Amino acid sequence: DSGVTQTPKHLITATGQRVTLRCSPRSGDLSVYWYQQSLDQGLQFLIQYYNGEERAKGNILERFSAQQFPDLHSELNLSSLELGDSALYFCASSGLKANVLTFGAGSRLTVL
C-alpha cells in the first residue's frame, strides 16, 4: 500500500457521460498530480495541485477539470466522455522532497 488511495478502481460508462475520480494523497503530502495512461499515448501528465491551488497544467482536455479540497483530497472530473478517454488514470502525491512522487493504484475507466 503506497498510501495514496484512488477510487473507484474500475468504472464503466457510456459516451457522453460524466465521471468523477477521487484521490486521497499520502498523509502530509501537499501536492497532488494526475496522470493518464493509455496504450497509444503512454503516461501523460494532466495537472498538479499544491495545497489547494493549481500549480501546473499539462495535456488536460477542456472537458476535464480537477480540484484539490481543503482536506487535500483531489477529484478529477471527466465530462462528455469519448471512447478515446478510456484509460488508466493515476493520482500521485509528493511532500517535502517535491520531485519524489508516490502513485496510487489507478482508476481504470472504460467508455463504451
Partner 1 sequence: GDSVTQMEGPVTLSEEAFLTINCTYTATGYPSLFWYVQYPGEGLQLLLKATKADDKGSNKGFEATYRKETTSFHLEKGSVQVSDSAVYFCALSDPVNQGGKLIFGQGTELSVKP
List contacts with partner 1 (CB under 8 A): 2, 4, 31, 33, 42-43, 45, 48, 50, 55-56, 58, 90, 92, 94, 98-106
CB of 58 to partner 1, least distance (A): 7
Distance of closest approach, residue 102 Cβ to partner 1, in angstroms: 7
Backbone angles phi, psi at 23, to 5 degrees: -140, 130
Q: Which is nearer to partner 1, 42 or 70 (CB)?
A: 42
What is the Cα–Cα distance from 29 to 60, expressed in whole angstroms?
A: 23
Least spacing, CB of residue 45 vs partner 1, in Å: 5
Q: Could you tell me the smallest distance in angstroms from the CB atom of residue 83 to partner 1?
A: 22
Nearer to partner 1, 32 or 78 (CB): 32
Give the CA distances from residue 53 to residues 50, 92, 98, in Å, rounded to whole numbers and listed in that order.
5, 16, 15
| Pairing verdict, β 102-103 and 87-94 | antiparallel
Q: Residue written as cell 503506497?
A: 2
Strand pairing partners for 66? 76
C-beta of 65 vs 79, nearer to partner 1: 65
